[in-house]
Amino acid sequence: AQTVTQSQPEMSVQEAETVTLSCTYDTSESDYYLFWYKQPPSRQMILVIRQEAYKQQNATENRFSVNFQKAAKSFSLKISDSQLGDAAMYFCAYRLRSGSRLTFGEGTQLTVNP
Amino acid sequence: DAGVTQSPTHLIKTRGQQVTLRCSPKSGHDTVSWYQQALGQGPQFIFQYYEEEERQRGNFPDRFSGHQFPNYSSELNVNALLLGDSALYLCASSLSYQRGGPGETQYFGPGTRLLVL
């Protein structure tokens, strides 16, 4: 069974600074997707970024980028120029290409200090 | 472009009762997945519906059942409610590969918060 681990229950960052959230996963498969979702206090789960495992290039979406290390089964999220609106719970998730379910980590609560 | 909608937003039930939660997928999407998110945890996959059939199921008892309608909307039914069923129930939709979509990317609704007393 696939598992996703987020070892940082809480992180904090100063506004305008950079922060990196960690995620590791365990799978014996080679073809899968990885995601970062953001869940603000409103509880709506919002897609931040996705990465296809067969792509070597790390995904980037504006201030958000990932460091995907397939051999190490590591998938970290870097948030640059942090903004107050980035404060939320961040979840790392895995999905097998041929599967249906998303498997989520336990989440990292990010606080952005003004 | 309408996103994923869920109803009701909040619900209070007592143990042993039955509940039905509803989800309308994002416009153009044909696949609906349901997740349960207990307080302080990540979402857990319940099941996924495609073409009105349950395609995959997570580790949930038969008390949890679902349905998908021809317009792709979906219902989640939970029978014989237990205190442990109290959670946020999230619906997510996606466009299947069969219809040319990026089937792997799921978009979530705002959730239904269920409290069982």
* Domains of chain A as residue ranges with CATH: 3-113 (2.60.40.10)
B26-55 confidence digits (pLDDT tens): 998 999 999 999 999 999 999 999 989 999
- Find the mean pLDDT for residues B98-116: 83
Q: What is the mean pLDDT of chain B?
A: 93
From residue A99, give the alpha-carbon distance in Å to each of A64, A95, B45, B113. Answer: 26, 7, 12, 27
Domain definitions of chain B by residue range: 5-108
A107 part of contact set with chain B, CB < 8 Å: yes
Give residue B80's region: left, alpha or beta (phi > 0; psi -120 to 50): left
Contact yes or no for B60/B84 (Cβ under 8 A): no
Closest by CA position to B77, among listed B88, B66, B92: B66
Chain A residue nearest residue B94, CA to CA: A100
**Percent of all residues in chain B with a pLDDT value above 70, rounded to a whole number:** 93
Chain A neighbors of B46, CB-CB under 8 A: none
Among B44, B45, B56, B104, most A C-beta atoms within 10 A, so best to mutate, is B104
A33 part of contact set with chain B, CB < 8 Å: yes
Confidence class for position B96, pLDDT limits 50, 70, 90: confident
Q: How close is the nearest chain A Cα to the Cα of B42, in Å?
A: 5
A47/B44 touch (CB, cutoff 8 Å), yes or no:
no
Query: What pLDDT, on a 0 to 100 scale, did the predictor assign at position A105?
Result: 97
Smallest Cβ–Cβ distance between B58 and the set A33, A37, A101 belongs to A101
Residue owning tokens 């007592």 = B14
* Phi, psi dihedral angles at B83 (to 5 degrees): -55, -35
Chain B residue nearest residue A43, CA to CA: B110
Query: What pLDDT, on a 0 to 100 scale, did the predictor assign at position B99?
Result: 65
CATH number of B5-108: 2.60.40.10
From residue A41, give the alpha-carbon distance in Å to each of A38, A109, A113, B42, B95. Answer: 10, 11, 16, 14, 27
Query: What pLDDT, on a 0 to 100 scale, did the predictor assign at position B98?
Result: 67
Helical segments of chain A, H only: none
Chain B neighbors of A33, CB-CB under 8 A: 104-105
Q: Give the mean pLDDT per block of 10 residues along chain A (114 residues).
A: 92 98 95 94 91 90 96 97 97 88 96 96
Q: How close is the nearest chain A Cα to the Cα of B70, in Å?
A: 20
Spell out the long-range contacts of B62-70 with Cβ–Cβ below 8 A and sequence spacing 24 or more.
Answer: B66/B34, B68/B32
Smallest Cβ–Cβ distance between A101 and the set B45, B90, B108 belongs to B45
